[in-house]
Amino acid sequence: MKMKRIGFIGLGLMGKPMAFNLIKKGYELGVYNRTHEKTKDFQGKAEIFKKPSEVAKNRDVVITMVRDHRAVEEVIFGEEGCIYGASEGTTFIDMSTISPEASKDIAERLKKKGFHFLDAPVSGSTWAAESGTLAIMVGGEREIFEKQKDILQTLGSKVVYMGESGMGSLMKLVNNLVGACWTVSLAEALVLAKKGGLNLESVLEVLSAGAYKSPLVEIKGGKMAKGDFSTQFSLDLMYKDLLYISDALEKYGVFSPVTSVVKEIFKSSFEKGMGNLDYSSIFETIEKMSNR
Ligand SMILES: NC(=O)c1ccc[n+]([C@@H]2O[C@H](COP(=O)([O-])OP(=O)(O)OC[C@H]3O[C@@H](n4cnc5c(N)ncnc54)[C@H](OP(=O)(O)O)[C@@H]3O)[C@@H](O)[C@H]2O)c1
């Protein structure tokens, strides 16, 4: 069977390993990244393009994995956007974290031009992107989802259809609400443990064996204990997600005192210039505020 031709846009921390997994599986890939030098590792492995309109030419599917809704808007509808190269019937799969409203709007505008669209954001950080074990939540027409399942199953070990356009993005906000709030409570717990004289390695050993064991405790807790804030998922991106989450909570009228405080803690860390660090660096903010 002929493998699908895929255009892949956005070779950041997540996009790069995802694109490599598709190549390994045998898909024919064309790649584009705004900062062109990030395409250099793809030489000889994929076709490399300098414009989104070019990478979308003669592709069955175009995947976007970029920062936010503005970036998706730019690469799809911008001056040199994909819509100026893609053929009718192409399916766009946006795997970035954006708002449900933006996903719905993009789906409608693409449909009017004869294209298909799925919002398919992901959970699991760089390690899951590398191992092809992301959790992927999908919104859009079910028939289109079924047609593109092979691609999604290459990138993730759990692929769940959530409903109409925008539902994948809404699910992602639900997911990251949990992640952001847990991170702050984990940081508070570890600062308490540290100040109280507990050994953090032993603390994590217990937490990772009991009722609250999770990749967040193991991986982000491990980074907090070591003070290693090298970036897997930047604080800047989690703060961006919290802004989308706040809008959604407001839209649906959800009483959300915890998320409000968590957003303020992320905001103050971001304003202190910590945006490029991993979001586990929230530990440092809590520790500094506790030592004042
Ligand atoms: N990292 C994680 O653990 C994780 C997990 C789940 C979901 N996500 C989500 O996945 C998406 C990508 O995250 P990431 O960690 O890979 O981020 P990243 O490393 O910062 O990469 C962001 C990508 O977006 C591109 N970009 C930003 N603004 C753009 C614009 N205006 N036009 C065109 N391209 C633009 C960047 O291009 P340049 O190289 O030119 O800057 C880069 O390729 C985000 O929506 C994030 O919230 C991340």
- Is the domain of 11 the same as that of 139? yes
Residue closest by Cα to atom 31 of ligand 1: 71
- Is the domain of 255 the same as that of 268? yes
pLDDT of 64: 99
Q: Is 162 in the pocket of ligand 1 (CB under 6 A)?
A: no
- Is the domain of 151 the same as that of 262? no
- Is the domain of 76 the same as that of 178? no
Q: How far apart (Å, rounded) are the C-alpha atoms in residues 192 and 202?
A: 14
Q: Is 12 in the pocket of ligand 1 (CB under 6 A)?
A: yes
**Residue 15 CA, closest ligand 1 atom number:** 16
- Is the domain of 157 the same as that of 56? yes
pLDDT of 269: 97
pLDDT digits (tens, 9 = 90+) for 54-64: 999 999 999 99
The domain tally of the chain equals: 2
- Which residue segment(s) compose the domain that 189 sits in? 170-290
pLDDT digits (tens, 9 = 90+) for 10-67: 999 999 999 999 999 999 999 999 999 999 999 999 999 999 999 999 999 999 999 9
Residue closest by Cα to atom 21 of ligand 1: 12
Distance from the first to the final alpha carbon of the chain: 64
- Is the domain of 152 the same as that of 220? no
pLDDT of 178: 98
263 is catalytic: no
**Residue 14 CA, closest ligand 1 atom number:** 16
Q: Is 71 in the pocket of ligand 1 (CB under 6 A)?
A: yes
Residue closest by Cα to atom 23 of ligand 1: 66
- Is the domain of 44 the same as that of 60? yes
Q: How far apart (Å, rounded) are the C-alpha atoms in residues 170 and 109?
A: 19
- Is the domain of 93 the same as that of 205? no
pLDDT of 292: 83
Structure tokens at 185: 């409570």
Q: Is 187 in the pocket of ligand 1 (CB under 6 A)?
A: no
Picking from 165, 191, 211, the residue at the C-terminal end of a domain is 165
From 4, 16, 57, 172, the catalytic residue: 172
Q: Is 65 in the pocket of ligand 1 (CB under 6 A)?
A: yes
- How far apart are the CA of 113 and the centre of ligand 1, in A? 26
Picking from 165, 185, 220, the residue at the C-terminal end of a domain is 165
- How far apart are the CA of 132 and the centre of ligand 1, in A? 18
Picking from 119, 148, 165, the residue at the C-terminal end of a domain is 165
Query: Which CA distances in Å does 76 have to 71, 79, 168, 210, 278?
Result: 9, 9, 19, 46, 28
- Is the domain of 146 the same as that of 206? no
**What parts of the chain have a pLDDT lower than 70?**
1
C-beta contacts of 282-287 below 8 A and 24+ residues apart: 282/183, 282/184, 282/187, 282/235, 283/186, 283/187, 283/190, 283/191, 283/223, 283/224, 283/227, 284/227, 284/229, 285/187, 286/184, 286/187, 286/188, 286/191, 287/187, 287/191, 287/194
- Is the domain of 273 the same as that of 235? yes
Taking the CB of residue 273, how many other CB atoms lie within 10 A of it?
8
pLDDT of 184: 98
Three-state DSSP class for 2? Answer: coil
- Is the domain of 155 the same as that of 232? no
**Residue 35 CA, closest ligand 1 atom number:** 40
R_g of the chain, CA atoms, integer Å: 20
We report the CATH number of the domain holding residue 60 as: 3.40.50.720
We report the CATH number of the domain holding residue 247 as: 1.10.1040.10
- Is the domain of 21 the same as that of 70? yes
- Show the CA angle centred on residue 21, arms to residues 18 and 26, nearest 5°: 135
Residue identified by tokens 């070591």 is 226
